[in-house]
Amino acid sequence: MKKILTGLALAATMGNAYAAEVSGTVSFTNDYRFRGISQSAGDAAVQGSLDVGFENGIYAGIWGSNVDFGSGEDANLEIDYYLGYGGDINDDLSYDINFSYYTYPGNDTADYDYSEIIAGLYYGDLGLTFAYSNDFFNTSESAKYVALDYSYGITEEVSLDLHAGHSFGEYWGSSDISDYSDYSIGVSGSYSGLDLSAAYLFNDIKTADEANSGAYRNDNTLLLTISRTF
């Protein structure tokens, strides 16, 4: 299992030559949705991250959340590690690429740990992201995800957020719900040091394959999140 210590060790070594910035975030949300599908059986989740970034564009971090994959599953925690690099192409265009490793410690019923490469291209408030895993959820099947995100500043403190994503590849071709697209529209802003967001999530999963309760819930929902960054 890849540990974040590898990335942090690299970061510590480079810290002598480049100034580092460390930050942490704690969040609370009424449902942990990953690409439109609940990872907490529709229940609330507490999430947190710790990140270190350098002036040369290299960064590393760790992120965690509670999860619930239903009865018969021991997994109740997800911890992700990532190492990446980002930079500017010009004043308007920037990019980012990272290697992420998703782990589920304490899960004795199955091994879901897997890795993913995520690349992003950003133009102003518009972002295009592509993710690829050759072993999605440790199934030996590949999965791909492409997303388009746009954030429009309504005021200096409030933004309108639009998202469209599509999951496809071998894994989804053999799953019950097949390839699908997920969407969201919401607003986000800051107040008294807190980051607040509300978004309505929906998708094109067929009605026959829709789950409106329990593990891997995928119905339409209103997602509320409050965060604090230190």
- pLDDT at position 19 is 81
59: left (phi over 0), alpha (psi -120 to 50) or beta: beta
Helices assigned H by DSSP within the chain = 4-14, 170-173
pLDDT in tens, the chain (230 residues): 333 333 444 444 444 446 899 999 999 999 999 999 999 999 999 999 999 999 999 999 999 999 999 988 889 999 999 999 999 999 999 999 999 999 999 888 889 999 999 999 999 999 999 999 999 999 999 999 999 999 999 999 999 999 999 999 999 998 888 999 999 999 999 999 999 999 999 999 998 999 999 999 999 999 999 999 99
- pLDDT at position 18 is 62
CATH topology of domain 4-229: Porin (2.40.160)
Q: In the chain, where are the structural domains located? A: 4-229
Residue matched to tokens 């518009």: 126
Indicate the pTM of the whole model: 0.90
Phi, psi (deg, nearest 5) at residue 94: -140, 170
Contact 121, 131 (CB under 8 A): no
Contact 82, 100 (CB under 8 A): yes
Give Rg (Cα) of the chain: 18
